[in-house]
Amino acid sequence: MGDRNSTPSSSDFLQWLNPIDYTSQHAYLLEQRAEGTGEKLLSSNIYLTWLDTKSSTLFGTGMPGAGKTITSAIVVDNLKRIYGKEKDVGIAYLYCDPERNPDQSVKVLLASLLEQLCGGNPRFQNLARDCLGDVKDKPTAQQLDSISKALRLVASSYSRVFIVVDGLGEYNLEAGCRERLLSEIQSLKSKATINLFATARSTVAHECLKGCTSFIIEAEKEDIQRYLNSNIGQVPKFVGKDSPLQRDIEKSISLKAHGLYVSISLYSLFSGYCYSQSVRFLLAKLHFNYVVHRKTIESLRYALDEISHGSSQDAYNDAYDKTMRRVIDQSPKQRDLAIQSLAWVTLAKRPLKVKELQHALAIEKGAQKLNTANIPLEKDIISVCAGLLIVESGIIRLVHFTLQTYLEKTRQTWFKTFSEKDISSLCVAYLTLDAFRAGACDTDKARQARLDSHPSYEYAANHWGDHARKAHTDDPALMAFLENEPLVQACCSIKDSHRGRKGLHLAAKFGLDPVIRLLLNRGHNVNMLDTDASTPLMHASHGNHSTTVKLLLENGADVAAMNRHGRSALYWSAYNGNTEMRDVILRKSPKATKLDYVGAHKAALEQGHCELAKLLEKASLS
């Protein structure tokens, strides 16, 4: 639990600067684009005027699924085609999608823009590196300021810069992050010649950018027809190109989005069109999966009648309901695979790689070894989920962000046979396989070999406690894991900074109060130290778990203890801006502020928690 920051060497400067790689996501989006899609926008007066007018902003709005992300990708591709070879023109882009990239702080996004503008140009890289200086000694707030300054410096070195920001409406609303990002971009525009292209949902459009040129993003008829023509061969034979059944489908199926009927051609139903291109295609694909598996004409017509009478006010939920009913109606094996896959992807704390999900689905509670015969094929996972999951650059994800919202709201209906508690138990089962009972690996090579042979281990090691906390579980298997030192050491060795921790440290880190009570009752030392001389109380405070801090203090935790880096429990409460935790600590030990006033006060100021800093100052004087 030392410094959170690392120092970039000359060789890995750009990699350190930008932890998010948008290139694979961008390439995937372009792969989904039918030839010619977006040409109407690219040839429009509004877009050409934006291209020709320096320092202008163009803002695209649209309903969820209306094609905002694919539009952004098309614009980036167009800019690269026009200006890609011009060394004095910079191009950078952001896809603000928290599902793909959970860590999208303002600092990270600005760093991504800086990294892209530095590119392979040594001069710009040196400018940025000199401006950033020794970042390891800078707190987060100062890092942000340094990155912002470096970004302005590099951007102003170009004659012109194009920035594309997709998904402002989906960007983190907590703590004014979106406003801060926009403020930084506006500040950048005042120092450099910046052309900004941004997209957001219609409902948040006016909050994002005011006074700029805007347009509505929706699938054009020509784009849809172009895509349909390229996929016409997928129409099932039993329908027939000119059959009365086809005409009935074309007449009957209409999708209602935001109160409007959107007529869908039969061919769009069988297109398998990507989620990001249009609400028409997203809903058409879902309804196709509901209709196409009907075995008789009568059942197909019944399905069409259901779709036609669905709620126009809630088209997404209506489509998801029907799709989930189809999932449930499969054979028990297929149903279980689908529900577990959807639950894992929905409840996971970060995006999962395909191999991670495959191994997670294969693990069995109480197993000593992973039975590779249980590992499902990728195509089978996708098939049983009826179009609700897609694979993008090796990451398996939900077909659309609206599905995440739907499944979270209806989890008690669909996930009652496989819940957060089951995921927690399976993570622990994975961590307790015989392969890890030897403890921590001696070398980085051995550790990497362990991760390569057990793809789900890194996720299980880092997030088992997140699932356990949500499930409020004190499973006996979990207790057995935490009291097995070699297994705990193996788990902690995933990160070098975590070595030497004990089971109680991990329970405190994740805020597992029921587990902590059991461990303390079994005689575990409430003030035990890890290799950093950190106590369970420090880990609980670092993890921002107020009730856990209170529990540990009630059981004799030393509030005055400091680790090797001079961090105390009060320091981490100040770092997190947690006034409730601060009050818990001070009620237990009023002298705690005097013992670590300098560290805690500095942490609060550095993280921008000014009110908390004032409270600490007042407490130190009383």
Using CA atoms, how far apart are residues 475 and 146, in angstroms rounded to an integer?
Answer: 46
Q: What is the pLDDT of residue 277?
A: 40
- Sign of the Cα pseudo-torsion (371, 372, 373, 376, in order): positive
Average pLDDT over residues 311-336: 83
pLDDT winner (highest mean) among 259-268, 301-310, 317-326, 522-531: 522-531
H runs (alpha helix) in 192-296: 205-208, 221-230, 244-252, 266-269, 279-291
pLDDT at 106 over 80: yes
Looking at the fold, whether 175 and 238 belong to one and the same domain comes out as: no
∠ CA 33-35-37 to the nearest 5 degrees?
65
Please count the structural domains in the chain.
3
Looking at the fold, whether 252 and 180 belong to one and the same domain comes out as: no
Structure token digits, residue 245 = 């059944």
Listed residues 282, 299, 329: the one ending a domain: 329
Listed residues 303, 329, 355: the one ending a domain: 329
Q: Considering the chain, what is the average pLDDT of its residues? A: 79
Domain range enclosing 613: 533-622
pLDDT at 613 over 70: no
- Percent above pLDDT 90 for the chain: 40
Q: What is the pLDDT of residue 599?
A: 60
The DSSP letter of residue 9 is P
Backbone dihedral angles phi then psi of residue 5, each to the nearest 5 degrees:
-95, 155
User: Which positions ≥6 away from 194 have C-beta within 8 Å?
Assistant: 55, 155, 161, 162, 163, 185, 188
Give the residue among 448, 451, 456 at the shortest CA–CA distance from 362: 456
Looking at the fold, whether 210 and 108 belong to one and the same domain comes out as: yes
Q: 486 pLDDT band (50/70/90 cuts)?
A: very high
Q: Using one digit for the tens of pLDDT, what is the confidence trace for 32-59? A: 776 777 788 899 999 999 999 999 999 9
Q: Using one digit for the tens of pLDDT, what is the confidence trace for 412-440? A: 999 988 989 999 999 999 999 999 999 98
State the virtual CA torsion across 563, 569, 571, 572 in degrees, nearest 10.
100
The 3-state secondary structure of 353-413 reads EHHHHHHHHHCCCCCCCCCHHHCCCHHHHHHHCCCCEEEECCEEEECCHHHHHHHHHCHHH
In a domain, 418, yes or no: no
Beta bridge partners of 165: 94, 198
Structure token digits, residue 148 = 């912002």
Q: Using one digit for the tens of pLDDT, what is the confidence trace for 215-263? A: 887 755 555 455 444 543 454 566 555 566 655 654 554 443 333 333 3
CATH classification of the domain holding 559 = 1.25.40.20
In a domain, 445, yes or no: no
In a domain, 572, yes or no: yes
Looking at the fold, whether 70 and 135 belong to one and the same domain comes out as: yes
Q: 357 pLDDT band (50/70/90 cuts)?
A: very high
Looking at the fold, whether 242 and 202 belong to one and the same domain comes out as: no
CA atoms within 13 A on the CB side of 195: 21
In a domain, 394, yes or no: no
Q: Using one digit for the tens of pLDDT, what is the confidence trace for 543-556? A: 989 999 999 999 99
Q: 313 pLDDT band (50/70/90 cuts)?
A: very low
In a domain, 134, yes or no: yes
Structure token digits, residue 464 = 């088992």
Q: Using one digit for the tens of pLDDT, what is the confidence trace for 127-185? A: 888 888 776 566 667 788 888 999 999 999 999 999 999 987 666 555 567 778 888 88
Q: 316 pLDDT band (50/70/90 cuts)?
A: confident
**pTM of the predicted protein model:** 0.69
Q: What is the pLDDT of residue 233?
A: 44
In a domain, 447, yes or no: no
Q: What is the pLDDT of residue 620?
A: 54
235-239: Cβ within 8 A, 24+ apart: 235/266, 235/267, 235/270, 236/270, 236/292, 239/266
Kindly list the distances between the CA atom of residue 513 and the CA atoms of 472, 518, 537, 550, in Å, as whole numbers in the listed order: 9, 9, 12, 10
Pairing of the two strands 389-392 and 395-398: antiparallel
pLDDT at 597 over 60: no
Q: What is the pLDDT of residue 159?
A: 96
Looking at the fold, whether 66 and 186 belong to one and the same domain comes out as: yes
Q: What is the pLDDT of residue 298?
A: 75
Looking at the fold, whether 262 and 212 belong to one and the same domain comes out as: no
More confident of the two residues 139 and 88: 88
Looking at the fold, whether 193 and 264 belong to one and the same domain comes out as: no
Q: What is the pLDDT of residue 534?
A: 92
Identity of residue 55 = S
Looking at the fold, whether 141 and 44 belong to one and the same domain comes out as: yes
CATH classification of the domain holding 161 = 3.40.50.300
Q: 355 pLDDT band (50/70/90 cuts)?
A: very high
Average pLDDT over residues 402-411: 91
Listed residues 184, 216, 248: the one ending a domain: 216
Q: What is the pLDDT of residue 264?
A: 34
Using CA atoms, how far apart are residues 21 and 116, in angstroms rounded to an integer?
Answer: 10
Looking at the fold, whether 168 and 260 belong to one and the same domain comes out as: no
Identity of residue 1 = M
Q: Using one digit for the tens of pLDDT, what is the confidence trace for 359-406? A: 999 999 988 999 999 999 999 999 999 889 998 888 999 988 889 989
More confident of the two residues 286 and 546: 546
Looking at the fold, whether 79 and 121 belong to one and the same domain comes out as: yes
Identity of residue 195 = N
The DSSP letter of residue 524 is -
Looking at the fold, whether 269 and 139 belong to one and the same domain comes out as: no
In a domain, 355, yes or no: no
- Please classify residue 10 by burial: count the beta carbons closer than 10 Å to its beta carbon, then call 0-12 exposed, 13-18 middle and 19+ buried: exposed
pLDDT at 280 over 70: no
- Please classify residue 606 by burial: count the beta carbons closer than 10 Å to its beta carbon, then call 0-12 exposed, 13-18 middle and 19+ buried: middle
More confident of the two residues 84 and 104: 84
Using CA atoms, how far apart are residues 605 and 535, in angstroms rounded to an integer?
Answer: 24
